[in-house]
Amino acid sequence: MSTESQPSAENFSLEYFDKIFEEKDDITLEDLSIMKEAGITTEQFLNYLREIKGVLFHGSRANIPLDSKINSGSREKVYASSDPAIAILKSIYLNNATNLGYPMFINDSRSNFILEIVDPKPDTEGNSGYVYVISDTQNFEADQGSNWQYSKQDPAKDGVSFLKKFEIERDDFKYPVVIKQTKNT
């Protein structure tokens, strides 16, 4: 891409990156690096997508092929979030510790958004993962015990289609992480 057709750093905007990523289904860390250099975080961009497109997010370490679906596994439900920070968290941290604790109600200031990991295993924290953008939010129900969690029943295990996937790195999660050891390891 020539520098003549690329705006200067101060002219980069969420709208600009939305246009750039519009035709891409698989947004890589390399794709996101230009946006991050312009001062826009992955979370900010995903929030923008939620606001203008009404999408939900699903975070996972699994690299799901673009022609596949998000599966419910043994739970018979597919979970999604209206808050991209939760999906980013889920893309980096496995729920394999004694407890992976985070608030079900995140306040407006986000001051209560602290991830607490009790007795993590060696692979609880990963270096990368994926956030999947779900545009067909029909049949997703809001969890009454949360201000961000949604779920869709999937007893037939048909899965949920996704529009795009974003590659995520550990540095995309911007919130405090507290690790507590209760067991001797």
Total domains, the chain: 1
Residue 3 lies in a domain: no
pTM higher than 0.95: no
Listed in sequence order, the residues at least 6 apart from 57 whose beta carbon sits closer than 8 Å to its beta carbon are 46, 50, 80, 81, 82, 83, 84, 86, 87, 131, 132, 133, 134
Q: Is residue 185 part of a domain?
A: no
Mean pLDDT of all residues in 136-162: 92
| 156/153 Cα distance (integer angstroms) | 9
Tokens representing 24 are: 């891409």
Residue 3 has pLDDT above 50, yes or no: no
Q: Listing from the earlier edge strand, what are the strands of the sheet with 149-153?
A: 26-27, 164-169, 128-134, 56-60, 77-81, 149-153, 141-142
CB 14 within 8 A of CB 4: no
In 3-state terms, what secondary structure has residue 67?
coil
Using alpha carbons, list the distances in angstroms from residue 130 to 115, 139, 163, 179: 18, 23, 13, 23
Mean pLDDT, the chain, whole residue set? 91
- Answer with the residue of higher pLDDT: 185 or 167: 167
Residue 9 lies in a domain: no
Q: Does 8 reside within a domain?
A: no
The more confidently predicted of residues 102 and 97 is: 102
Q: Which domain holds residue 22?
A: 15-104+112-179
Pair of tokens at residue 107: 């306040």
69-73, 82-86, 108-112, 133-137: which has the minimum mean pLDDT? 69-73
Give domain status of residue 126, yes or no. Answer: yes
**Tokens coding 96:** 């394999």
The pLDDT of residue 10 is above 80: no
Query: Does position 4 have pLDDT exceeding 80, yes or no?
Result: no
pLDDT in tens, 123-148: 999 999 999 999 999 999 999 999 99
Residue 185 has what pLDDT? Answer: 55
